[in-house]
Amino acid sequence: MDSPSCRHVAVFGSTGSIGRNALEVIRGTGGRFAVAALSAHANLELLARQALEFRPRWIVATDAEAGRAFPWPAELRDRVRFGPDGLDRTAAEAEIDIVVAAIVGSAGLSSTLAAIDAGKRIALANKETLVVAGGLAIERARASGAEIVPVDSEHSAVFQAIRAGRPSEVARVLLTASGGPFRDWPSERIARATPAEALAHPNWSMGRKITVDSATMMNKALEVIEARWLFDLPAERLEVVVHRQSIVHSMVEFVDGSVVAQLGPPDMRLPILYALAFPERLAGPTLRLDITKPFTLDFEPPDPERFPALALGAEVARRGGTTGAVLNAANEVAVERFLEGSLPFGRIAAGCRAVLDRHDYESDPSLETLLRLDRWARKEMQQWNRS
């Protein structure tokens, strides 16, 4: 039997980098959390292994065709659900307290919204939900009582630091960025970067999409948009600062000039643990800062010329409406095209800019409009700059 303090967790995207880290946190916190549901799209072998270990009540194979063809072990077979609908249904199950939203891209939107509507705690890694539909997601969370606690390390830092003052006392949020693998490269070299070069992140080991986003700094652009919605701050109060060590995870400056920062080693298990346990803090399997050896913390302004994606983030944070859905979809396809070799690295931001400029802007779109524009922007980006 679970103890009364045990909370039931669904991990959506459990085979990914965040998903696997979330399972390590659950394994390493001595029965405080139990896995109620797991989901994955590909790598069903790993999903089945995870399910045999954690024995969740529900297992969701979001790629229904692959899921139906997969030889599930007999003891798991009656727990498996298929397709995005199976995931949305699972998000709303009464037994689930916390949903770790760790699917990559706008594929994570529907199940995150389902969990929000069901009033769950959302441990939110899927920043794309807020980029695409931040206004709607926050409004729906307010209506249902869902609690969104960020897993993104920068937003977890802000979430913690911002509690040092009142919302009206916040002057600025400073989001730190490692700068990615090309932070010291000249533009000409960045323009021709290969997938292998873009996938070699200096500080963090993550999924492929976010690793490429870190190299273009589109990840930071998406994070500015994410912060705009999470903390209800206007774009003018959100700044990016390059901090190559990834130890200061972000900072909040208050009206009196005081800056409050959160520090920790670059270990995603820490913000995951925080998002699961909040408002408590638990001991868990996280790395510690080693302050017995000298270490340095550097900060420098980002270079908007070498990293044009940053301007897109500021613009979308300012304009809101349909811009986030369009930028996100264009970027997802641009990253895929870069990885498959049909778009040079140096054209990713330019392609996103072109698609963004071409779309029919609406300031207060419905979910249907956002989904339609997501499909539209994908098609546009597929065609863009093909010879």
Judged by beta carbon, residue 170 or residue 272, the one nearer ligand NAD is 272
SS3 content of the chain, % helix, strand, coil (to 5): 50, 15, 35
Q: For ligand NAD, give the closer residue by CB, 111 or 145.
A: 111
Is 332 an interacting residue with respect to Mg ion (CB under 5 A)? no
Torsion angle, alpha carbons of 152, 378, 107, 322, to 10: 60
Interface positions, 266-285, toward ligand NAD (CB under 6 A):
268
Among 9, 13, 137, 325, binds ligand NAD (CB under 6 A): 13
CA distances to 28, 308, 333, 339, 374 from 343, in Å: 42, 16, 10, 8, 20
Provide the mask over 130-169, with x wherever binding to ligand NAD is found by CB under 6 A and - wherever it is not: ----------------------x-----------------
Q: What is the DSSP letter of 258?
A: -
Nearest to 310 by CA among 242, 384, 211: 242
- In sequence order, which residues have a C-beta less than 8 Å from that of residue 56 and are 6 or more positions away? 10, 35, 36, 37, 38, 79
267 in contact with Mg ion (CB under 5 A): no
Residues 17-36 interacting with ligand NAD (rule: CB under 6 A): 17-19
Tokens representing 113? 């919204």
Count the site residues for ligand NAD by CB under 6 A. Answer: 25
Q: Which residues are CB-contacts of 47 (< 8 A; sequence separation ≥ 6)?
A: 14, 15, 38, 39, 40, 59, 61
C-beta neighbour count of 115 within 10 angstroms: 32
- Map residues 125-154 to x or -, x wherever contact with Mg ion holds by CB under 5 A: ---------------------------x-x
What residues have CB less than 8 Å from 386, skipping those under 6 apart? 342
By the rule CB under 6 A, 59 interacts with ligand NAD: no
Residues 190-229 as x/- pattern, contact with Mg ion by CB under 5 A: ----------------------------------------
Q: How far apart are CA 335 and CA 122, in angstroms?
A: 27
Question: Which residue in 109, 125, 175, 238 binds ligand NAD (CB under 6 A)?
Answer: 125
Exactly one of 8, 120, 127, 228 binds ligand NAD (CB under 6 A); which one?
Answer: 127
Nearer to ligand NAD, 96 or 157 (CB): 157
Return residues touching ligand NAD (CB under 6 A): 13-19, 40-42, 62, 102-104, 107, 125-128, 152, 204, 206-207, 210, 268
